[in-house]
Amino acid sequence: MATTTKAAAPAKKNSGFQGVKAAWIILVICAIAGYSVWYFIMGNPDNFVGGDRSGHPANLLGTVYKGGFVVGLILTLLFTVICLGIERFFAIKSASGKMNLAKFTAEVKNAIKAQDFAKAKDLCNKMQGSVANVVLASINMYQNVETDNTLKKAAKIAKISQAHE
């Protein structure tokens, strides 16, 4: 006997920060920047005695340049971490939504207690974040299973839990 599960409806696309779609572009840019800093800044002839790169370093930048091409790779990795860290900051900030989370939660809770699901859905649409998407999916599934008299209470709870996931 086969069982089928109905997938939750896809969430509405958020028009906020979309994130980096092609991280390889960032890697290439960071590699160019890293090797440019290594070669042109650290390898500047002013950082060496007599202006000769093959000579003795005159300061710390010249000494680091003498580390070889691995220094450019390390700088590439450093710049990549910084860039992707900034990107993740904006992605997480946009996922948190547009309203204060505590205020949103309190208002949705009050609307659900009052059985005003339309108001709760409107609040979720105004919030536009990950939490709002989960709450909206739960409200929609709750309304679907509440009208279905063929399901037992445990099955209804399981379907609502599945909507969370």
Chain segment 26-84, per-residue pLDDT in tens: 999 999 999 999 999 999 999 999 999 999 999 999 999 999 999 999 999 999 999 99
Name the CA radius of gyration of the chain, rounded.
27
pLDDT over 70 at 125, yes or no: yes
Distance of CA 125 to the CA centre of its chain: 20
* pLDDT tens-digit map of 27-41: 999 999 999 999 999
